[in-house]
């Protein structure tokens, strides 16, 4: 069974969202997602400063097997990206909720965060 931390919010498309306490959020892909993809070999990150709407395709994670799109869970501006993934994309496999984070956003409509799935809601989508 994959790990689904209860303090995070989730999307059906397997992104996780962590609120950082300063109004910003950190986003990555879930343990379940990295397990399905297998060994990651390349991560294409969004541009810092780009402004996205919820649901916009904004990053790509590629394993030896396949490429998979990552979507912005909420609307807002990209304020940081995890550049260490350029050389060590395998951090997404080994630590998907920690060092394997993908990018940080400044939410445009913070109320979108509350509308995301909670851990049990996300777990339900995995069992369906």
Partner 1 sequence: MSQRTVLYDHHVAAGAKIVDFAGWEMPIHYGSQVQEHHQVRNAAGVFDVSHMVVVDIRGEGAQAFLQYILANDVAKLKVSGKALYSAMLNPEGGVIDDLIVYYLGEQFYRLVVNAGTREKDLAWLDKQKTDYAIDLKVRDDLSILAVQGPQAIATVQSLLSESDRKTIDSLGVFFGVDVAGMFVARTGYTGESGYEIMMPNDRVGAFWDRLLAAGVLPVGLGARDTLRLEAGMNLYGSDMDETTSPLTSGLNWTIAWEPAERDFIGRVAIQSEQDAGVKQKLVGLVLLDKGVLRGHQKIYCDAGIGEITSGTFSPTLGKSIALARVPHDIGGHCEVEIRGKRLAAQVVKPVFVRNGKSMLES
From the CB of 62, what's the least distance to partner 1, in Å?
5
Separation of alpha carbons 44 and 114, rounded Å: 27
Q: What is the DSSP string of 5-55?
A: -TTSEE-TTSEEEEE-SSS-EEEEE-HHHHHHH-SEEEEEPPPTT-EE-TT
Mask of contacts with partner 1, 8-47, x by CB under 8 A?
------------------------------xx-xx-x---
* Ramachandran angles phi, psi of 14, nearest 5°: 75, 25
Identity of the residue, 12 or 65, whose beta carbon is nearer to partner 1 in the bound complex: 65
Task: Enumerate residues 68-107 that contact partner 1 by CB under 8 A.
Answer: 86
From the CB of 89, what's the least distance to partner 1, in Å?
10
Answer for which of 64, 79, 83, 115 binds partner 1 (CB under 8 A) is 64
Q: How many residues does the chain have?
A: 128
């Amino acid at each position: 069974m994959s790990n689904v931390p209860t303090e995070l919010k989730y999307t059906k498309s397997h992104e996780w969202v962590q609120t950082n306490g300063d109004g910003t959020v950190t986003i990555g892909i879930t343990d379940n997602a990295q397990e399905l993809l297998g060994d990651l070999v390349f991560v294409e990150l969004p541009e810092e400063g780009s402004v996205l709407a919820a649901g916009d395709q904004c990053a790509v994670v590629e394993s030896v097997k396949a490429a998979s799109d990552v979507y912005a869970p909420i609307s807002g501006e990209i304020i940081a990206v995890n550049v260490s993934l350029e050389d060590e994309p395998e951090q997404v496999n080994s630590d998907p909720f920690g060092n394997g984070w993908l990018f940080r956003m400044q939410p445009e409509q913070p109320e979108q965060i509350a509308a995301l799935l909670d851990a049990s809601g996300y777990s339900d989508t995995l069992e369906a």
